Amino acid sequence: MDTLLVFFLGMAVFSAYLSWFYLLARNLSGPKAWPVVGSIPGLIANRARFHDWIAENLQRTGGSVTYQTSILALPFVARRQGFYTVTCNPKNIEHILRIRFENYPKGPTWQAAFHDLLGQGIFNSDGDTWLVQRKTAALEFTTRSLRQAMARWLNRTIKSRFWPILAKAAKEHIPIDLQELLLRLTFDNICGLTFGKDPETLSPALPDNPFAVAFDSATEATMQRLLYPGFFWKLKKALGIGSEKRLKESLRLVESYMMDAITARKKTPSDDLISRFIEKKDTDCLSYIALNFVLAGRDTSSVALSWFFWLLMSHTRVEEKIIHEISMVLSKTRGDDRKKWVAEPLGFAEVDQLVYLKAALSETLRLYPSVPEDFKYVLSDDILPDGTVLPAGSTITYSIYSVGRMKAIWGDDCLEFRPERWLSPEEDRYEPPKEGYKYVAFNAGPRTCLGKELAYLQMKSVVAAVLLRHRLSLVPGHRVEQKMSLTLFMKNGLRVYLHQRNLEGDNGSVVSFT
């Protein structure tokens, strides 16, 4: 009798669950959801092409470019932690990032995952904590002295280390991993700008630097936390095993390096960001503040440059126009002696004049944004401009990667690499789209990236430094693939050959190749 009762109770519960799941699934518009496991099977099956999979799901929605799915199809979970909304609708993005900004914080899941690495630094904080740091940082990022400091660090790195490495590879016809070199270059620059201390990871021998290695290990382990339920990584942390053990060991090295750098700057102030925060008495959680700037300024520019050079290798017309523009600027600033063109890296005053190059970099970021997806926590119930209902406690992802792949947003040629879409009809001025929230590669609203213009200056300087001296070609058989990460790394790097440019051609349009 008891067995029969248990059987009927089980059948009743099972029937009730199926009815609930049927009603839930009927209201979901994203990838197929299965009982209990929700859309996890589709996510796992497409993990190697995660961002394209999201874009395809959004395209299937037709004009709404918003869908909702359930990661875990369980009652009392699906409408909160397991319920996800994904959108690439510019009006929705504006609603999230500007109009209802206060309702969409980083949230507890993100903050818990990043707390050990970033604490309550600007990248990982909300509310008043974020606002105080933002105001202080905003004042510094608008100063001419910071721009000049960036130029000094960048020019020194390019001239003394980057150029010799490229020249040797070209002369000996040795393939290089350009993504790796760019990561090292931007890491050295951001560390110099932040700490006033150059780790010199970009050197001919490509040495391992303890701080750089520990920082990479810590960021990778931290990002892994977002791929699994919170209880999973918290259990690993409590047991001190796996990635959590590596994270603890890496953070010990990172914190030691940070304290040494801060102590040195307290004794001998310089023109770096640490000294500026100390001068303003903003010394609370100083190491976390500094690490936030390193994380924000290192990977994003190098990854964007990697995709830019990859695109350029298959778009010679764009490359020729960039070379022509650089040539015209240098003719005005340095005369017609082309040896003077490559004697020194371009100064920021010269870089400012490279309008077409900025358009080409923006076009790269439209198609391959350094941060392809971003996440927000829904603080209270809300309705998006397209009518999508968001329950409090759920998560919304705005897919920056998908925005650039929607014909409804960018037109029928949305998948083409066409820098001209960023220029005035006369192609003499850079003109971003009037609908600002269709391009959010540098975020938007109150959390717009403070280093946006510095990033453009750095990227343009590096591009000019490479293209004036070299032409690139992909190593035969090398596969360029996306890595499943919060930053759009190339999984296998970017392996290229370098070919010396001939600067002795006729004075005029395009510098010839050898």
Q: Rounded to whole angstroms, what are the CA distances from 401 to 51, 364, 374, 482? A: 7, 11, 10, 12
> Are 27 and 68 a contacting pair, CB within 8 Å?
yes
Task: Report d(CA 466, CA 151) in Å as an integer.
Answer: 16
| Non-local CB neighbours of 229 within 8 Å, separated by 6+ positions | none
> Are 473 and 479 a contacting pair, CB within 8 Å?
no
| Contacts by 179-185, CB closer than 8 A, 24 or more apart | 179/302, 179/303, 179/306, 179/489, 179/490, 179/493, 179/494, 180/206, 180/493, 182/301, 182/302, 182/305, 182/306, 182/462, 183/298, 183/299, 183/302, 184/212, 185/157, 185/158, 185/302, 185/462
- Look at residues 324, 116, 315 and name the one whose alpha carbon lies nearest to residue 221: 116
> Are 309 and 472 a contacting pair, CB within 8 Å?
yes
Task: Report d(CA 97, CA 446) in Å as an integer.
Answer: 7
Buried b (16+ CB within 10 A) or exposed e, 53-92: bbbebbeebeebbbbbbbbbbbeeebeebbbbbbbbbbeb
Residue 285 annotated as part of some ligand binding site = no
- Look at residues 233, 222, 230, 232 and name the one whose alpha carbon lies nearest to residue 109: 230
Chain position carrying tokens 């959680």 = 285
> Are 409 and 386 a contacting pair, CB within 8 Å?
no
User: Which uninterrupted H or E stretch holds 474?
Assistant: strand 470-474
Report the SS3 class of residue 29: coil
Binding residues: 449
Binding residues for heme: 449
